[in-house]
Structure 1
């Protein structure tokens, strides 16, 4: 399989080529007519590269070695089976082009199609949530129409089901015309998400200064009078809901007694008190979340855990969303990284963000036998080493050049490897974080 990964724009561009049957993120399926024509032209003296260029393929997209690799396979098929090797039903993805001894009947083809649909339904069980609710961020939320459209688009891309739009829309309970309108508005959504994040950062700054005791109307007044920014209160409420900002003020709640019976979000005192240098690996762990934009301004979110003594990133997780999975998966990776070597006095320190005050996160921290500590409200210096690392990462990693989430994930992983093992730091006696950890353990 090719090491290339096609992004959405490249896949759409390739699918417009009449010589292409369908495209996935990692592979291109060509039409039988093109394969046969390419082989004949190659046997008549044309080079593979020339053939692909003349048939409107961009070698910068598909890779300069792709034509030669394809023609090598197709010539072999033609030599063994002739034209039948391209026109007759073949046996699966691993087939070398050998025609099936018994062509599939109409009934067999129907069963094959039904099996593919059933498999698709099983893989995409989330579509069944159209008729029920899901829990996200501790609150009950219904699956939105936009999420359904997103799922349909991902399904079509993943399984190359360009002719099943109507079926999937009916399955999800949305209109076909609405789906195409959603596809057309992709660039607008990306731009809106980027603008939402910038507005959220400003709102969050004020929200923290007010110790979380400011609702949408108070935030609106402060924005207008102190920052000279006019923002509709409905937009502020939407952003607060989107990024889980809940004001600590009395609100009318008909289910107040029921809410009290549930475990609420709780903060913890600042046990660390900026005493970052403990000279004991694993004793002080810092964690936080930052964002990076890739492709056409799409946001991704990076959760990290840093050893304050060695500066080593001991666990990290990259996610497309800010759901609780981003911190839960980070804790899983932290557990795998530490194994049984958890310091008996280990502290995990964070800000007072939604994720870290969530009952589920706090429960898992206790299961790992870690003591939780939190920064004071609106005080970034209480977690300064973590903020410093994110600053270095954004200065040194050209993440905006990544076109796909997979490219971004690979780039971030490579940087973490380089940072931990090869980046010398003056304050670590000119050692790398991994070297300094070994130094402290043997001292």
Structure 2
């Protein structure tokens, strides 16, 4: 009946518009509105079912309301952002609070190189790949009696947010960060103006890491001490990752957690849409925007795994 349809759509469209389109008198609608509210909804809310379906299809990765709304539109369900946000709050589907970040700073070590200047100065926008890389280390705690933690070191290209290299370990050593850097250097043809930005963690000031960057011609930049906003896009990635992974699951051993981290980064690069990328994944956006950039016949950007 018309009154039921108008009642169900009242959150997504202005009431005068619904009444005009349906040809329903306002008095008739309000007569039935009182009865609908008294008896509750006639059937389960299919909008909530559709939101849950989006989350399940994305392998339990937890989207915020903006990405959920975009996915619903692709499937033909057009809801306002306000409605999607409200439904997700009411049914406990909203994003949880971010986890505490890992701090790798260990004070001023006389054997370490001095901190590099902050030449990025929070200007993260780049219009080509391999112009600005961000890197950091984060930690994951296990559930249960195992006291060990899993550490992830990753490099993010600010052009499209793609994670181009990463390593995992149960100890945040210089070696596992250096191995990640070698992988990133080895799979990309690097331009002369590439910048790697990090915090002032001991791994990034170690002579092995500094020498590796110098040999590759990579300019080093570091955040100011205790200022996480100087590397905010990298922090944002880690925050989203932990939200997505730990919202629905827990891990009791390092091997299963490491496998899930590898799986998640593949998902993030190839399937997780981003609003700033026109709701494309980082890889899809790179392919659309750049395809293959060439310099003397050489590909400038390798495909991330």
TM range (shorter): 0.5 to 0.7
CA distance in 1, matches of 2:239, 2:231: 13
| Equivalence for 1:351 | 199
| Equivalence for 2:184 | 334
| Equivalence for 2:262 | 413
CA distance in 1, matches of 2:193, 2:139: 31
Aligned length, in residue pairs: 190
CA distance in 2, matches of 1:244, 1:351: 8
Per-residue deviation at 1:343? 2.3
From 298, 304, 308, the counterpart of 2:154: 304
1:3-58 Cα distance to aligned partner (Å, 9 max, x none)? xxxxxxxxxxxxxxxxxxxxxxxxxxxxxxxxxxxxxxxxxxxxxxxxxxxxxxxx
CA distance in 1, matches of 2:204, 2:124: 19
| Equivalence for 1:429 | 278
CA distance in 2, matches of 1:405, 1:381: 30
| Equivalence for 2:222 | 374
CA distance in 2, matches of 1:327, 1:264: 15
| Equivalence for 1:401 | 250
User: Is 1:246 paired with 2:94?
Assistant: no
**What are the ranges of 5 or more consecutive residues in structure 1 without an aligned counterpart?**
1-197, 205-242, 249-258
Per-residue deviation at 1:432? 0.8
Per-residue deviation at 1:247? 4.9
Contact 2:269 2:281 in 1 (8 A): yes
CA distance in 2, matches of 1:377, 1:301: 21
CA distance in 1, matches of 2:223, 2:112: 19
From 273, 277, 280, the counterpart of 2:121: 273
Q: Aligned with 1:363: secondary structure?
A: helix
CA distance in 2, matches of 1:320, 1:271: 32
TM-score using structure 1 length: 0.40
Per-residue deviation at 1:309? 1.1
User: Is 1:320 paired with 2:170?
Assistant: yes
Q: Aligned with 1:419: secondary structure?
A: helix
CA distance in 2, matches of 1:245, 1:279: 35
1:393-439 Cα distance to aligned partner (Å, 9 max, x none)? 11001396223222111101110010000011110122110111123
Per-residue deviation at 1:334? 1.1
**Superposition pairs for residues 25-424 of structure 1, below 5 Å?**
245-247=106-108, 264-296=112-144, 297-338=147-188, 341-398=189-246, 401-424=250-273
Q: Aligned with 1:311: secondary structure?
A: coil
Per-residue deviation at 1:246? 3.4
**What are the ranges of 5 or more consecutive residues in structure 2 without an aligned counterpart?**
1-99, 294-305
1:249-270 Cα distance to aligned partner (Å, 9 max, x none)? xxxxxxxxxx7xxx64221111
Q: Aligned with 1:279: secondary structure?
A: coil
Q: Aligned with 1:401: secondary structure?
A: coil
| Equivalence for 2:287 | 438
CA separation of 1:246 and 1:414: change in aligned 2, threshold 3 A: same
Contact 1:302 1:318 in 2 (8 A): yes
Per-residue deviation at 1:298? 2.7
- Give the 4+ runs in structure 1 shifted more than 3 A: none
Contact 1:313 1:416 in 2 (8 A): yes
1:85-131 Cα distance to aligned partner (Å, 9 max, x none)? xxxxxxxxxxxxxxxxxxxxxxxxxxxxxxxxxxxxxxxxxxxxxxx
Contact 1:281 1:440 in 2 (8 A): no
1:291-344 Cα distance to aligned partner (Å, 9 max, x none)? 001242531111000001110000111110022112111112212332xx2122
Greater Rg over alpha carbons, structure: 1
Per-residue deviation at 1:244? 7.0
1:52-74 Cα distance to aligned partner (Å, 9 max, x none)? xxxxxxxxxxxxxxxxxxxxxxx
Contact 1:307 1:313 in 2 (8 A): yes
CA distance in 1, matches of 2:201, 2:105: 9
CA distance in 1, matches of 2:105, 2:266: 32
Coordinate RMSD, CA, aligned: 2.4
CA separation of 1:389 and 1:382: change in aligned 2, threshold 3 A: same
